[in-house]
């Protein structure tokens, strides 16, 4: 090593016998520590304090005043012509995995909001909200959009799975034992249209691929009590509220297992009420009625042969059978023992 302490001739020292660590150049100066916001902790793992957990990217935001800025925001824009066909572009991707002996519940994304706002403010407080704005591109028809898409794909190849595969589960829990007179807790609310006069194709659409079977399209389970199963009274229908195809019927005495014995339906020719033994009541489009037997519960005989009636009316008492043969014209036949 040579130095020039203000002299013309350099002074050189031989350091061959010194350790390599001494001969190495001095390390560069360390960068100054990051400046953290006031009250913001670098690591809160196990401390119970809010902040940024370097191990698991825990974001915490509690501003002193109103803060319109998102705690976490991901802006992603795919330039025109830069995408690959069939590829899915994720603005936010959360990947998790559980083991066969995992005793906990693994939630990939959790949205939790502690709502304390007044109802009179009209605020919309949403734990998880997915919104897609379908906009014209100026070139051609805009592709399909899903505001929320949930898939549960069973890849276990188990012949008789013992655990459920649920696409979406919605639980509305009422912890208060008091009566909710306003009935504002809603399990599922679907609002379509958005503006007056808008036309929506389907409120709820259920579709199966060819060969697949869904046991029950809509089912009410549990020991609870329901006020009305399906209520169409408030709707205005351009067609029929409930549409059945020929050969379909409504069961009248079903149980939780899906068994039933009495049905009402249309067999392609007649309106039919039937039991497990077969049809017992038929009404044709011409008004012809077929029944196993007819019983008139009340006699209601006419007081005179000129009492008001419509041809075809029938009545009886202990002594006579009465038949209306013309407008306001009754005739009778005597009854006898045998």
pLDDT digits (tens, 9 = 90+) for 289-311: 999 888 988 999 999 999 999 99
pTM above 0.75, yes or no: no
Among 295, 310, 329, where does a domain finish? 295
The model's pLDDT over 44-93, given as tens digits with 9 standing for 90+, comes to 555 555 554 445 666 777 777 888 888 888 888 877 777 778 888 888 88
Q: Is the pLDDT of residue 8 over 50?
A: no
Does residue 35 form part of some domain?
no
Does residue 265 form part of some domain?
yes
| pLDDT number for residue 71 | 82
The mean pLDDT of 90-116, rounded to a whole number, is 86
Does residue 158 form part of some domain?
no
| pLDDT number for residue 15 | 39
Residue 47 CB neighbour total at 10 angstroms: 10
| pLDDT number for residue 247 | 93
Q: Find the domain containing 290 and state its range.
A: 249-295
Does residue 240 form part of some domain?
no
Does residue 58 form part of some domain?
no
Does residue 122 form part of some domain?
no
The model's pLDDT over 156-177, given as tens digits with 9 standing for 90+, comes to 999 999 999 999 999 888 777 7
Does residue 20 form part of some domain?
no
The mean pLDDT of 202-224, rounded to a whole number, is 90
Phi, psi values for residue 21, rounded to 5°: -65, -35
Who's near 296: CB < 8 A, 6+ residues apart?
314, 315, 316
The model's pLDDT over 32-46, given as tens digits with 9 standing for 90+, comes to 655 555 655 555 555
Are residues 303 and 274 part of one domain?
Answer: no
| pLDDT number for residue 27 | 64
Are residues 254 and 288 part of one domain?
Answer: yes
Are residues 331 and 310 part of one domain?
Answer: yes
Are residues 286 and 319 part of one domain?
Answer: no
Give the chain's domain count: 2
* CA distances to 14, 53, 90, 93, 318 from 74, in Å: 59, 19, 10, 11, 87
Contact indicator for 113, 125 with CB cutoff of 8 Å: yes
Does residue 323 form part of some domain?
yes
Q: Tell me 119's DSSP state.
A: G
Are residues 302 and 287 part of one domain?
Answer: no
């Amino acid at each position: 090593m040579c130095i020039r302490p203000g002299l013309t001739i350099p002074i050189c020292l031989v350091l061959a016998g010194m350790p390599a660590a001494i001969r190495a150049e001095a390390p560069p100066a360390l960068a100054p520590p990051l400046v953290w916001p006031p009250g913001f902790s670098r690591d809160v793992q196990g401390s119970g304090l809010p902040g940024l957990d370097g191990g698991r990217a825990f974001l915490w935001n509690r501003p002193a005043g109103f803060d319109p800025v998102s705690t976490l925001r991901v802006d992603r824009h795919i330039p025109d012509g830069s995408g690959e066909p069939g590829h899915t572009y994720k603005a936010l991707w959360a990947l998790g995995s559980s083991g066969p002996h995992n005793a906990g519940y693994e939630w990939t994304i959790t949205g939790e909001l502690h709502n304390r706002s007044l109802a009179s403010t009209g605020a919309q407080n949403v734990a998880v909200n997915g919104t897609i704005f379908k906009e014209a591109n100026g070139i051609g028809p805009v592709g399909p959009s899903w505001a929320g898409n949930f898939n549960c794909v069973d890849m276990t190849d188990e012949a008789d799975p013992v655990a459920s595969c649920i696409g979406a589960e919605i639980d509305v829990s009422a912890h208060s034992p008091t009566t909710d007179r306003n009935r504002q807790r809603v399990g599922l609310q679907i609002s379509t249209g958005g503006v007056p006069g808008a036309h929506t194709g389907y409120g709820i659409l259920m579709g199966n691929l060819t060969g697949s079977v869904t046991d029950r399209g809509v089912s009410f389970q549990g020991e609870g009590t329901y006020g009305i199963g399906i209520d169409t009274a408030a709707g205005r229908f351009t067609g029929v509220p409930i549409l059945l195809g020929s050969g379909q019927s409504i069961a009248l005495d079903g149980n939780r297992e899906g068994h039933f014995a009495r049905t009402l339906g249309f067999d392609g020719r007649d309106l039919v009420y039937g039991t497990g033994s077969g049809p017992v009541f038929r009404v044709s489009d011409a008004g012809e009625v077929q029944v196993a037997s007819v019983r008139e519960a009340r006699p209601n005989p006419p007081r005179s042969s000129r009492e008001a009636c419509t041809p075809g009316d029938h009545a009886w008492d202990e002594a006579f059978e009465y038949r209306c043969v013309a407008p306001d014209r009754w005739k009778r036949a005597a009854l006898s023992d045998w």
